[in-house]
């Protein structure tokens, strides 16, 4: 007999009175139900709701006060929105939105609460146990931990000349933060593990690679930080440094369970043609999840990039295969220190690509590109296929095709993505493509290409007020080119920059329209 685990977050006020009443009447609450008493449903974030699933819950209910009776005013509405988003994400993930429910009760609605609990319980049982089954061992690293000495040696940090070029080029330091890569390196070499440099600053680095471009000793600071994080994480997940309550790390860790069958590609628009037997695979990335998570805040629609990529492949007569149970490539887990879950994702992903006999993987996501094309092999996972970024594919196709572009009467500037420009060395393809579009004007920002400023966050780790300062600086740079359209290459650049633009203190003029390059090409390209 399966032991079901159902978590009920129960608000202290209205429904708890009803629950208490049930207990007084000696009603036996189903044994599967683990009740967690909370002060207000509005404070149960998406991250907390999802965390329960990551930890193996088969169902989660959020039970609050009837609308209008919330002691704090907006709790019920917040809870309704959070549950809705989480449910949609559960659905995309393939866990099913029925595993989560939100309901509200007045203090005297004892019987309806009883019916609700019974009904939810029997429903979850019908759905069967959750495919996410973390075991205790999962929490303990199976990957042999590297110690700091080895990491320092591997990345040749001893070669640091203490010249300070890194600190003077680091966008975080330049935005006013008390932060110095050189000092981090020095503290780690001196094994001062309890210093602020190690405990805090390691988690602030954007791993953007600007300093690596400048370092005379060729210290690859981003990879160094990545491994240091991995090492620190072996003693726990370091969730306190994760943004949005660690929601995305939880989500991505949930994807490491092989029984999970993602529904991400359901409901593809009818005009898009897919061929399961194709030797070319399109790898989409996590944009659809981001869109749901941020929909109430930023009106982000980054999954359009995936659809437009598929349309462009179709335009050039390629009907690609897709992975029906596509998972996260693992980028964010790798860069936020969870190397073990990264490896799980990487193995599952590569296995399913190999199973399809794929020869070439095309992706439009800079992070998926960087991760699959270089980090998999660096972590000992062999690939039998090549990885191409969408821009390279497009430039090569357009170069030999009789196509033209509908006029783009916009003044544009371009945001390099760290993963594409500095890590992936893809700077020229997007620029060639932009010129082909023949916009009214194309003006580079003050810092561009190798020197481009980061969008302000990487791997959902360490976002703070200095990230905001950095983003504001970047957006000001974009404005001062005189452009009216900021062209982006990474879905996350759009998300993070949009977040900064919505700062109420900076006013409406701070807003700038953003569009993804792939989407612009898809909208304007036509046969000649």
Partner 1 sequence: MAEKRETIRQGVIITGFGGQGIVLAGRILGMAAALGDHKESTLVQSYGPESRGGACCAQVIISNNVIQYPYVAMPDVLVCMSHSAYEKYKDQLKPDGVLLTDKDLVRPDEKRDYFSIPATRMAEELGRKMMANIIMLGFTTAITSLVSVESAKEAVTSSVPKGTEEKNIIAFTKGYDYGLSKIKGREKKVIGRAGAIS
- CA-CA-CA-CA torsion for 179, 182, 183, 187, nearest 10 degrees? 140
Which residue number, 8 or 160, has a Cβ lying nearer to ligand SF4? 160
Could you tell me the smallest distance in angstroms from the CB atom of residue 419 to ligand SF4?
Answer: 12
Rounded distance, CA 470 to CA 453, Å?
A: 8
Token couple for 440: 């009214």
What DSSP string describes 48-112?
HHHHHHHTT-SEEEEEEEPTT--TTSSHHHHHHHHHHHHHHHHHHHTS-GGGEEEEEE-TT-HHH
What CA–CA distance (Å, rounded) separates 412 from 166? Answer: 30
Residues in contact with ligand SF4, counted by CB under 6 A, come to a total of 37
Rg of the chain, C-alpha, whole Å: 24
- Of 128, 145, 216, 482, the one binding ligand SF4 by CB under 6 A: 216
CB of 457 to ligand SF4, least distance (A): 4
Site membership for partner 1, residue 390 (CB under 8 A) = no
Binding to ligand SF4 by residue 57, rule CB under 6 A? Answer: no
- Please check whether residue 167 is in contact with residue 173, taking contact to mean a CB–CB distance below 8 angstroms: yes
Among residue numbers 504 through 523, which ones bind partner 1 (CB under 8 A)?
A: 521-523
Contact call for residues 277 and 357 (beta carbons, < 8 A): no
**Least separation in angstroms between CB 172 and ligand SF4:** 5
Kindly state the smallest distance separating residue 190's Cβ from ligand SF4, in Å: 14
Closest CA to 57 of 122, 126, 133: 133
Q: Is 208 in the site for ligand SF4 (CB under 6 A)?
A: yes
Among 2, 137, 409, 528, binds partner 1 (CB under 8 A): 528
Nearer to partner 1, 505 or 527 (CB): 527
Q: Minimum Å distance from CB 314 to partner 1?
A: 7
Closest CA to 11 of 32, 36, 33: 36
Minimum separation from the CB atom of position 373 to partner 1 (A)? 25
Site for ligand SF4 in 103-142 (CB under 6 A): none
Using the rule CB under 6 A, is 299 a contact of ligand SF4? no
User: Is the dihedral angle over the CA atoms 112, 116, 117, 119 positive or is it negative?
Assistant: positive
Q: Which of partner 1, ligand SF4, none lies near 315, with the C-beta cut-off 5 to 8 A by kind? A: partner 1
φ/ψ of residue 241, rounded to 5: -95, 0
Question: Please, are residues 264 and 345 in contact by the beta-carbon 8 Å criterion?
Answer: no
Which partner from the list ligand SF4, partner 1, none does 308 bind, CB cut-off 5 to 8 Å by kind?
Answer: partner 1
Which is nearest to 328 in space by CA: 304, 347, 312, 354? 347
| DSSP sequence for 384-421 | SSEEEEHHHHHHHHHHTS-EEE--EEEEEEEE--HIII
How far is residue 196's CA from residue 174's CA, in Å, rounded to a whole number? 19
Site for partner 1 in 254-273 (CB under 8 A): 271
Residue 308 touches partner 1, criterion: CB under 8 A: yes
Does position 285 interact with ligand SF4 (CB under 6 A)? The reply is no
From candidates 55, 403, 451, 512, binder to partner 1 by CB under 8 A: 403
Interaction between residue 210 and ligand SF4 (CB under 6 A):
yes
The residues of the shown chain that bind partner 1, judged by CB under 8 A, are 271, 308, 311-312, 314-315, 317, 400-403, 406, 521-528
The residues of the shown chain that bind ligand SF4, judged by CB under 6 A, are 160-166, 170-172, 181-182, 185, 205-211, 214-217, 219, 221-222, 243-244, 456-457, 460, 463, 467, 495-496, 499
């Amino acid at each position: 007999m399966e032991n079901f685990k159902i978590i009920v977050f129960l608000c202290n006020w209205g429904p708890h009175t009803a629950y208490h009443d049930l207990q007084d009447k000696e009603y036996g609450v189903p044994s599967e139900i683990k009740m967690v008493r909370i002060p207000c449903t509005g404070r149960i974030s998406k991250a907390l709701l999802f965390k329960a699933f990551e930890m193996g819950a088969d169902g989660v209910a959020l039970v609050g006060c009837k609308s209008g009776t919330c002691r704090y005013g907006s709790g019920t509405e917040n809870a309704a929105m959070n549950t809705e988003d989480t449910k949609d994400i559960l659905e995309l993930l393939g866990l099913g939105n029925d595993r989560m429910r939100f309901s509200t009760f007045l203090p005297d609605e004892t019987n309806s609460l009883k019916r609700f609990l019974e009904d939810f319980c029997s429903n979850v049982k019908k759905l069967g146990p959750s495919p996410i089954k973390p075991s205790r061992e999962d929490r303990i690293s199976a990957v042999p931990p590297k110690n700091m000495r080895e990491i320092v040696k591997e990345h040749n940090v001893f070669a640091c000349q203490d010249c300070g070029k890194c600190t003077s080029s680091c966008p975080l330091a330049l935005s006013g933060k008390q932060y110095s890569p050189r000092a981090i390196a020095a503290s780690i070499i001196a094994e001062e593990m309890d210093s602020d440099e190690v405990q805090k600053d390691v988690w602030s680095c954007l791993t953007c690679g600007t300093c690596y471009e400048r370092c005379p000793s060729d210290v690859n600071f981003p990879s160094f930080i990545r491994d240091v994080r991995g090492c620190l994480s072996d003693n726990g997940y370091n969730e306190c440094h994760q943004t949005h309550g660690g929601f995305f790390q939880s989500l991505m860790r949930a994807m490491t369970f092989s029984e999970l069958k993602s529904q991400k590609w359901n409901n593809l628009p009818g005009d898009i043609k897919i061929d399961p037997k194709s030797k070319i695979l399109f790898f989409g990335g996590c944009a659809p999840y981001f869109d749901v998570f941020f929909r109430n805040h930023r009106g982000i629609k980054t999954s359009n990039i995936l659809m437009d990529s598929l349309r462009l492949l179709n335009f050039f007569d390629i009907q690609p295969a897709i992975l029906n149970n596509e998972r996260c490539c693992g980028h964010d887990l790798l860069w936020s220190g969870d190397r073990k879950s990264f490896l799980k994702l990487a193995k599952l992903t590569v296995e399913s690509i190999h199973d399809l006999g794929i020869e070439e993987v095309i992706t439009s996501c800079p992070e998926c590109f960087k991760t699959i094309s270089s980090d998999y092999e660096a972590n000992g996972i062999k690939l039998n296929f090549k990885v191409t970024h969408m821009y390279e594919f497009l430039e090569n196709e357009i170069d030999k095709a009789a196509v033209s572009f509908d006029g783009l009467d916009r003044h544009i500037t371009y945001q390099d993505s760290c993963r594409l420009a500095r890590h992936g060395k893809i700077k020229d393809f997007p620029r060639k493509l932009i010129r082909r579009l023949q916009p009214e004007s194309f003006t580079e920002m003050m810092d561009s290409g190798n020197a481009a400023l980061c969008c302000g966050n990487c791997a959902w780790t360490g976002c703070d007020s200095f990230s905001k300062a950095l983003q504001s600086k970047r957006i000001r740079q974009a404005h001062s080119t005189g452009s009216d359209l900021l062209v982006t290459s990474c879905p996350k650049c759009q998300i993070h920059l949009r977040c900064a633009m919505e700062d109420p203190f900076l006013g409406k003029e701070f807003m700038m329209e953003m569009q993804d390059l792939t989407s612009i090409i898809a909208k304007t390209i036509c046969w000649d």
